[in-house]
Structure 1
Amino acid sequence: MVREIAYDCDVLVIGGGIVGLSTAYAITRAAPGTRVTVLEKEAGPARHQTGRNSGVIHSGIYYRPGSLKARFAARGAAEMVKFCAEYDIAHAVTGKLIVATERDELPRLHALVQRGRENGIPVRELGAPQIEEYEPEVRGLAAIHVSTTGVCDYAAVARHLANASGALIRYGTKAAYIDRRPDLGVAVRTDDGTVVRARVLVNCAGLHCDGIARLAGDEPNMRIVPFRGEYYTLARPDLVRGLVYPVPDPAFPFLGVHLTRGIDGSVHVGPNAVPALAREGYDWRTVRPRELGSTLAWPGSWQIARRHWRYGTGELHRSLSKAAFTRAVRRLLPAITSDDLIPTPAGVRAQAVLRDGTLVDDFLIQEGPRTVHVLNAPSPAATASLPIGREVAQRALKALAAAA
């Protein structure tokens, strides 16, 4: 006897950030008639990583050739500019400088030139005098100019994706329990006691994606270790014309403190990268013992601390000392003073970490019976959200076809 189940939807997406909404949008475009529901625990979309960043449309220059990041960022940047133009979402293609301020950074800068060319990204090399042509107040020994970098309003992009997806989006709804049965589908009980039944589950929960995977019965073999990025805005935004970045340290997946002129004309300075004491720990006062305990119980967290304690100590110092943060910025922008820096809301990066302490560098998507989990999608995920959404949608539709 075959048991008949009344499914509420075909695909249930957990997470209403830009990746979850791009996935819902891609599913309904690729397979019209597919019933998609999105559960988002906040009162609206893009309340965490999507809405708490500097809004950069990344070119893809940093990422290992052939990786998902390299493929999706370069493609996604062009698509994001086109998407914003088509739907009248605020954006600008400004280009950016990556500036070497010390001699030991020059080989890394030259390596970035080569990587950019391998990824098909137009790059112009600059000497010290040419830097001033782009940024009169910036100083450095050499730089590269990446013309395809830009900025946009990602929260507005997410809102448009939500409205255009055709999905049923339930805000203020948190997944509390998941019953996944390969022969029957997935049932999710929400925090208000409602049960939503779906044929396939897609996990785009960002800062909580590892917990959702485990609720579904899939062991992700990684944990999210949250890193807070703290920002300032410039009191004198005229000091910066566009986007200015340092040469990144290849041993760490963060780009360093940089300067970003946003679409509203303000200039963001930051972020640094310090351990957050909660998954949504946007300041030092926000501590959630259970979440902090989970981070500390993961062996990879201690491996990170052991390997990167010098780097981490510097980041902590800059978090606690505005003078130290100012000194870091002055390497690029000597005219800046401590009074120029005005605190602004922080963001938290959902960084996937393996048991051995490896910081997952690429986007990470895993599949289980009737499930697709997006387990590492920090920056440049917003830039790459349209191609990521199509990739996840393809996997979800494949799982849906297999379940039919």
Structure 2
Amino acid sequence: MLTRRGTLALAGGLGAGLLARPAIAQTRTIPGLPGTMVWSVYDVGSTGYVEASAIADAFGRAFGTRVRLQPSGTSIGRILPLKQKRVSHGWLANELYFAMEGIYEYAALDWGPQDFRTLAGRKNSFSVVATKESGITKPADLKGKRMAYAPANSSVNIKVEPILAFAGLTWNDVQLVQVPSYGASLRALIEGRADCAGAAPAAAALRELEASPRGISWVQLDPNNAEGWAAAKRAVPFVEPFQEPIGAGLSEANPAWLMGYRYPMITVPADAPGEEVYALMKALAETFDLYKGVNPIMPRWEMALAGTPPMDAAFHDDAVRYLREVGQWTAEHQSWQDTMLKRHRALQKAWAEFLPDARGRNLSGDDLAAAWGERRAAALAALS
């Protein structure tokens, strides 16, 4: 598994190469593929940065394309340039869902539900990790347990909600142990101050928990529990069953059924040029052999995996066109797409109706978020 030191070295090396290396003679061309692109990505050292770097490098070697990566450690810092079209693509995580729904920092007068589309996204996993001594192995076991909780970590918290919902639980059914950050939540398990916390299996701190006397256990979500998954998807629509063999307490011989989601997702404005979208999809598929060996995660960028729902936003029409042409877009996928497009339109319409009154009442901050939350809930309920 790629270590943090290895990740930083690779990210730095690839990033520097992308900026410094002159464009090489392309060996083939794809009509519509831009000669230069700018991608907004997570910070240097993140897995998302490494993945974008590897794929950008492959594009350069195959097509002579130059890509500049624009890293940012904040959600707004990655999405605002995409909204303003100062970058061509965003490599996003759940901030895409927040922006599409107009929640958290996007519940603001100058934001609201945005209009983006996805092209592809790498399968990732998440669940609630617990100390082995707690006896927690399934969602129902979380009731009454001490859960470490960082109020400001909306990306983690929104993914815990469907796991609770899987067993008919809410935040009110657990004992919240408030901590300042994601890292502190995992430290609380190691120190015995909490029984569980939301986590990604690759988190380095979990190796310490795995080796500690408390041991490590993952909340597993039965892929055959249709009722549980229906409840999880009502909480958030971008989750799916995923068997994870990589991470703390996991291996090929001992995988776990966790909650799947996508990170990073290659994202564009809804009105991005169709020819460019189609060309990038084709380039992503055709250069797979050049980047798949960068680390154990990169094989998940194979189009048969990365070009399927669910995502945090609907696919771009020309991404669907490409996927349909290569035989990877099914009737089930189209049904998901239609549902997501309907959801996007409903929320954008609700915001357009809500905004004049919100401006007239001079709403802001928590008051705006609460008022929009009620309007959003009503709009989504009308879709049921």
* Shorter-normalised TM range: under 0.3
> Higher relative CO (CA 8 A, sep ≥ 6), structure 1 or 2?
1
Q: Which of the two has greater strand per residue?
A: 1
**Normalization by structure 1: what TM-score?**
0.25
**Normalization by structure 2: what TM-score?**
0.26
Q: Which of the two has greater helix per residue?
A: 2
